[in-house]
């Protein structure tokens, strides 16, 4: 190939050499040359793969966003059998309160061995069996109840939503309704 730039200009010889080197590569670069200015750009798109960008930035809808936050809250749960998180959100999409299942503040919990239910397998005490008495008695408050208790009813605006990583039990459904929360969202949809 003939030189793109005339000899005698400092640095042009090295540029011409580099261009010829890349022309020998399996996929040659593309040149954009202006007669007035010279070489404007060299693109080695086929030699050096370029990152592929999505045409539009996407983000989760509000329900997916707050369920993801509830999942992160669940990581703090003090339970050997189940980790549940809850997030109460106002109608303006602002987080009002969070909660996870665990013993009341300051009291020993499941992870320290203080919960009789946490010491038993699912074969010994079935999932969703009575939490309040017998060998399956649990010392923890549910995530939904913790979120409601920490916020308090006067602070919950009308039209608020609670996002929970699992289906609420009947007792928690009652507490949620009593708090004035009008929508329950779980990973399976509206509860």
Q: State the catalytic residues.
A: 144
Distance from C-alpha of 45 to C-alpha of 94, rounded to nearest angstrom? 44
166-171: list long-range contacts, CB under 8 Å, 24+ apart: 166/82, 166/84, 167/191, 168/142, 168/144, 169/128, 169/131, 169/142, 171/142, 171/145
CB 191 within 8 A of CB 162: no
CA–CA separation, 48 vs 29, rounded Å? 10
Scanning 24-136, the segments in alpha helix (DSSP H) are 62-74
**φ, ψ (nearest 5 deg) of residue 14:** -65, -35
Joined together, the tokens standing for residue 35 give 């007669």
């Amino acid at each position: 190939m003939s030189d793109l730039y005339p000899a005698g200009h400092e640095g042009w010889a090295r540029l011409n050499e580099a261009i010829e080197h890349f022309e020998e590569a399996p996929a040659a670069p593309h040149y954009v040359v202006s007669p007035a200015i010279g070489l404007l750009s060299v693109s080695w798109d086929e030699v050096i793969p370029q990152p592929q960008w999505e045409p539009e930035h996407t983000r989760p809808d509000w329900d997916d966003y707050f369920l993801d936050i509830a999942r992160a809250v669940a990581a703090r749960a003090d339970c050997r059998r189940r980790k549940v998180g809850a997030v109460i959100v106002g109608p303006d999409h602002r987080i009002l309160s969070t909660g996870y299942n665990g013993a009341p503040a300051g009291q020993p919990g499941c992870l320290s061995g203080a919960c009789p239910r946490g010491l038993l397998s699912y074969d010994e005490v079935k999932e969703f069996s009575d939490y309040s008495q017998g060998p399956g008695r649990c010392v923890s408050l549910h995530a939904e109840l913790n979120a409601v208790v920490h916020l308090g009813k006067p602070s919950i605006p009308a039209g608020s939503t609670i996002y929970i990583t699992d289906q609420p039990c009947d007792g928690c459904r009652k507490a949620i309704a009593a708090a004035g929360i009008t929508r329950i969202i779980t990973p399976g949809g509206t509860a």
